[in-house]
Amino acid sequence: MLQQELKKRKLPNVFQMPNGKRIQTKEEWENIARPHWKDVLLTEEYGKVPPVLMPKITEETNAVDFAGKATWETVLFTFENHSKTHTVPTQLIYPKGEKSIPFFIYLNFRPDIPDRYLPVEELIDNGFGIFSVCYNDVTKDNGDFTDGLAGLFQVGKRTGDDTGKIIYWSYMASRMMDYLQTREEVNKTAIGISGHSRLGKTALVTAALDERFAFVCSNNSGCSGAALSRGRCEGGESLRVIQESFPFWFCPNYCKYADKADELPFDQHCLLSLVAPRMAYIGGAIEDIWADNDNQFLNCVASSPVWNLYGKAGIITENKLPVCGDIYTEGEVGFHLRKGKHFHSRTDWLVYIDAIKKKL
């Protein structure tokens, strides 16, 4: 059943290289296929990644400590390039006095702590640290490429594979990862990333590009995130709509594929596959038709053969499309479909936390 569904979509084969080479081992995947798909995705969809800048760091400790359970610091990142500067505030909250703490880097819509998408106390009580940033503080969610971090790199009007906003937000997450490497409280092998919707797309891109991330929880990310573009469901977001509404999330090259999903030289399984052999959990909500739950789930199935190269299962599921209430998180690739609408809910967090705690 699932293989038939995938067959209908005629996805590009992740193991087939354009020069005819067929990938058969994990070494070939790492040396040939990984760089190939990274390059294709950055050139045709998201835009290239700016060079790494070393920010100046300023740390402040806040008085609020969540009933004495947590330490909360504000960390300011000041970037400088071409004699322009931009400062991004981030929030670091972790179980007080603990060592070897697993961490979530969280990309949020708002700077709030806690936030309706970010149940801080619940995460702390489960032993996780949180390092969060508000995406608009990195660079605004609009077509202004003179704003924030984008303004330090973009010169003139964007063309071709010039960086889109998703990559700028993701770039910041990687700099937050750099910073966590310097903190002795952190378990460096257990740092993951999460985000919802456009920031779920960004979380997935970040884990795909930056192998230091041990896990990704991409919530309701849909079109150009976890959802395959080919064989979109009725009512699901199309490439044309996303490219017309949010052209600035992507590089200008991506517009070539409006109404031409079948001609993409990749699909979103090429992105999810880049996370192998690490953990990737995808969350859907039954009323979130726009994000195309079947195609988010089928991506997990389509990407799993790359985990198999590493002797890992990928998604462990029944041979059927998901229904409301299904939770498949036994493998390193997971999918759940909860009731309700588009939202990063506590229910989602509890599924992710449970899956990750079992594996760590």
Two structure tokens written together for 285: 């909500």
Residue indicated by tokens 């992105």: 271
Nearer to ligand GCU, 218 or 317 (CB): 218
- How far apart are CB 43 and ligand GCU at their closest, in Å? 21
Nearer to ligand GCU, 103 or 135 (CB): 135
Tell me how far, at minimum, the Cβ of 220 lies from ligand GCU, in Å. 7
The contacts of residue 268 (CB under 8 Å, 6+ apart) are: 224, 225, 226, 227, 228, 229, 299
Residues binding ligand GCU: number (CB under 6 A): 8
Closer to ligand GCU by CB, 71 or 202: give it: 202
**What is the per-residue binding string for ligand GCU in 243-262, x denoting contact by CB under 6 A?**
--x-----------------
β-bridge partners, 16: 22
Radius of gyration of the chain (CA): 19
The reply to whether 288 sits near ligand GCU by the rule CB under 6 A is no
Kindly identify the residues of this chain, within the stretch 188-207, that bind ligand GCU according to CB under 6 A. 197-198
CB of 202 to ligand GCU, least distance (A): 9
Instruction: Report phi then psi at 247, rounded to 5.
Output: -60, -25
By C-alpha distance, which of 278, 124, 120, 274 is closest to 189?
A: 278
Give every CB contact of residue 223 below 8 A, 6+ residues apart in sequence. 229, 232, 236, 237, 238, 239, 241, 242, 290, 291, 292
Using rule CB under 6 A, residue 348 touches ligand GCU: no
Candidates 152, 154, 176, 178; CA nearest to 164 is 154
| Region at 259 (left for phi over 0; alpha for psi -120 to 50; beta for the rest) | left
Q: How many helices (H) and strands (E) does the chain have?
A: 12, 10
- Regarding 237 and contact with ligand GCU (CB under 6 A), the answer is yes
Rule CB under 6 A: which of 204-223 touch ligand GCU?
A: 222-223
Q: Establish whether the linkage from the previous residue to 114 is cis, with ω within 30° of 0.
A: yes
Among 134, 217, 242, 285, binds ligand GCU (CB under 6 A): 242
Q: How far is the CB of 222 from ligand GCU (least distance, A)?
A: 5
Q: Work out how close the CB of 198 gets to ligand GCU at its nearest, in angstroms, rounded to a whole number.
A: 3
Nearest distance in Å: CB 320, ligand GCU:
26
What are phi and psi for residue 90, nearest 5 degrees? -130, 160
Question: Nearest distance from residue 195's CB to ligand GCU, in Å?
Answer: 9
Residue with smaller CB distance to ligand GCU, 176 or 223: 223
Please report, as a single letter, which amino acid is at residue 226: A
Comparison of 197 and 295: residue with beta carbon closer to ligand GCU:
197
CB of 232 to ligand GCU, least distance (A): 12
Sign of the alpha-carbon torsion through 64, 186, 85, 115: negative
Interface segment toward ligand GCU; rule CB under 6 A; list 5-13, 35-43, 46-54, 237-245: 237-245
Quick one: 198 or 230, whose CB is closer to ligand GCU? 198
Q: If 0-12 CB within 10 Å is exposed, 13-18 middle and 19+ buried, where does residue 10 land?
A: exposed
In the complex, what is the shortest distance from the CB of residue 48 to ligand GCU, in angstroms, rounded to a whole number? 22
Name every residue whose Cβ is closer than 8 Å to that of residue 260 and which is 6 or more positions away in sequence. 239
Query: How many other CB atoms sit within 10 Å of the CB of residue 7?
Result: 9
For ligand GCU, the closer of residues 281 and 307 by Cβ is 281
Q: Which chain residues interact with ligand GCU by CB under 6 A?
A: 197-198, 222-223, 237, 242, 245, 290
